[in-house]
Amino acid sequence: MQPHSNPNIPTHAVNLRIREDVRTLIDRAAKAQSKSRSDFMIDAARRAAEDTLLDQTFLCVDEQTYQHFLNVLDSSPQSEGFERLMNAKKPWQ
């Protein structure tokens, strides 16, 4: 059974026309991940769709909550862990 197939969920065909060089690129990438072209394209399209929709998330809060959020962002961290992190030897030093 293919990873994206589920006998209880109907599937629908999607037809695409793409240039030969793009198809070859997709085929090479799919092979590198041991996937079929269809599975590779479905995974890539799903990720792109999820990212697009997540970027559209809108949060609505009252003025007091928003001001608290801004205050937290503007305040400098005050903790022992943060101080240890800032005083740790940097790998590039």
Residue 76 lies in a domain: yes
Residue 12 lies in a domain: no
Residue 8 lies in a domain: no
The dihedral through the CA atoms of 59, 62, 68, 70 has a sign that is: positive
Find, among 33, 64, 68, the residue nearest to 47 by Cα.
33
Domain interval for residue 39: 20-87
Report pLDDT digits (tens) over 12-42: 999 999 999 999 999 999 999 999 999 999 9
Residue 92 lies in a domain: no
Residue 10 lies in a domain: no
Specify the pTM. 0.56
Number of domains in the chain: 1
Report pLDDT digits (tens) over 50-75: 999 998 878 899 999 999 999 999 98
Residue 2 lies in a domain: no
Residue 6 lies in a domain: no
The token duo for 43 is 């995974």
